[in-house]
Amino acid sequence: MKESTDRSAGPVLAADNISVRLGGIQILQHLSLQVERGERRAIVGPNGAGKTTMFNVLTGVLRPQEGHVALHGRDVTRWGVSRRATCGMARTFQITNLMHTMTVEENVVLALAASRPAVRRDLFRPLRSSSLDRPAAELLDRWGLGDRRHLPVHALSYGERRELELVLAVAAEPDVLLLDEPAAGLSPSETARVCDLVERLPRETSIVLIEHDLDMALALSDTVTVMSEGSIRGTGSADDPAISALVEEVYVGAVDQEDADVAG
């Protein structure tokens, strides 16, 4: 089962004094961020604000030059992606990233098997007869993909693939789910469907999402962190006027600032 981690009251995911320098450019300067249990956090900011880099530090793809990342209070800075996943962290990818030659059901079975070492290391028993067929079918039915079960992934529509991404991420019942621009490249109706899916995630799962689409970000999250030029400018609840002013200043302000230069 998952590595034993205490479910104490502390923040589920905490990043402390994170600094990242890539190719000589200082991308993140001393960022700190706490996500409580069940909290829905959105990280917004214009292009180049460092959102994706921060996302990669949290998920373990990138190791920061300074600072620490903690999961349930345990320092996981040096842990790789797979080890963090066994400790209750899950993520989706901006560009759909699925096992395209396998069927939808096989993808989900693999996701479920990830948290059951006995199954996934079994060299002799065929996967099909393992005990995971029923839970996989239930999960797919719950998320509306039940009828596409036996289709290979490459036969799914783009929207359906985005949904499968989400299903794979929640298969292991993670404590914290990181969403990488879930609405990227979706039509309004598909975006609505994904929002609805995120809404239906269990309440105790904390969510951190980075998103360009402000409306979607604000709709899905209860607290918002505004980033620009590699640092956090402020954090607050979605409907707090100070935050919306800050958001406007960071997004729109950037435009005025250029006009100012031109005029000046």
Partner 1 sequence: MPRRSLLIGVVLAVIALVLLRNGLSPYSLSVWSLALVGGGLGMSLSLLVTYAGLPSLAQAAFYGTGGYAVGILAAKHGQDNLWIGLLLAALVSGLLALVLGLVSLRTRGIYFQIITLSFTAMIWGLAVKWRSLTGGDDGLVGIYPPSMAPFNGHLVTPQGVFTFSAVALILICLVVRMVRNSAFGHVLVGIRDSESRMAALGYRTTAYRLGAFVLSGMLAAIPGALLTYQLQFVSPAQLNFVVSIQALLMVVIGAGTLFGPALAGVGVIWLQEILQRHTDHWLLVLGAIYIAVAMVNPPALVQRLRTQWAERRTAEPAREPDLEVVR
Partner 2 sequence: MRSRTWAALCVSAAMVLLAGCSGTAGGGPPRVDGKPAGSEVTVGLVAPSSGVYGLYGPTLGGMMKGVFGRDGAESGVTFLTEDDAGDPQTALTKVRKLVQQDGADVVVCCVNGAATLAVAPYLQGLGIPQIAPIPGPGGLDKFSTAYSVGFHAQQLTKPFGHYAATELGYKNAVILASDFVQGHDVADGFKAGFTAAGGTIVKELYPPLDTSDYGPFLSQISDADVVFSFFGGADAVRLVKQYDAAGLKDKAQLIGLGPMVSRLVLDQIGDAAIGVQGVFHYMESGMGNPADEAFTAAASAAAPPAVTPNFVQANAWTTAVVIEQAIKDSRASGASLLKSIAGVSVQAPWGPFSFNAETHYPVLKGLLYEVVRGPERLDHKVLGSFDGDQ
For partner 2, the binding residues in 121-160 under the rule CB under 8 A are 124-126, 129
Q: How far is the CB of 161 from partner 1 (least distance, A)?
A: 10
Q: How far is CA 91 from the centre of its chain?
A: 4
The verdict on 24 binding partner 2 (CB under 8 A) reads: no
For partner 1, the binding residues in 69-108 under the rule CB under 8 A are 80-83, 85-86, 90-91, 93, 97-102, 106-107
The amino acid sitting at 69 is V
Task: Decide: residue 6, CB within 10 A, 0-12 exposed, 13-18 middle, 19+ buried.
Answer: exposed
Q: Which stretch binds partner 1 (CB under 8 A): 23-31, 167-175, 229-237, 249-257?
A: 167-175
Which one, of 61, 121, 50, lies nearest residue 89 by Cα?
61
The amino acid sitting at 210 is I
- In whole angstroms, how far apart are CA 59 and each of 13, 102, 182? 11, 25, 16
Q: How far is CA 149 from the centre of its chain?
A: 24
Q: Which stretch binds partner 1 (CB under 8 A): 138-146, 148-156, 185-193, 236-244?
A: 148-156
Q: Which stretch binds partner 1 (CB under 8 A): 6-14, 27-35, 115-123, 253-261?
A: 115-123
Count the neighbouring beta carbons within 10 Å of the beta carbon of residue 205: 20
Q: How far is the CB of 175 from partner 1 (least distance, A)?
A: 13
- In whole angstroms, how far apart are CA 197 and each of 98, 108, 194, 210? 18, 17, 5, 16
Q: For partner 1, which is the closer residue by CB, 186 or 247?
A: 186
Q: Which does 111 bind (CB under 5 to 8 A by kind): partner 2, partner 1, none?
A: partner 1
Q: How far is the CB of 123 from partner 2 (least distance, A)?
A: 12
Task: Decide: residue 238, CB within 10 A, 0-12 exposed, 13-18 middle, 19+ buried.
Answer: middle
Which one, of 264, 230, 220, lies nearest residue 250 by Cα?
230
Q: Which stretch binds partner 2 (CB under 8 A): 16-24, 119-127, 229-237, 241-249?
A: 119-127
Strand partners, 18: 31
For partner 1, the binding residues in 18-77 under the rule CB under 8 A are 59
Per rule CB under 8 A, count of chain residues that contact partner 1: 46
Q: For partner 2, which is the closer residue by CB, 47 or 124?
A: 124
For 97, the enclosing helix (H) or strand (E) is none
Which one, of 258, 259, 234, 260, lies nearest residue 246 by Cα?
234
Q: For partner 2, which is the closer residue by CB, 47 or 129?
A: 129
What does the binding site for partner 1 look like in residue numbers (CB under 8 A)? 59, 80-83, 85-86, 90-91, 93, 97-102, 106-107, 109-111, 113-115, 119-128, 130, 151-152, 154-158, 168-169, 171-172
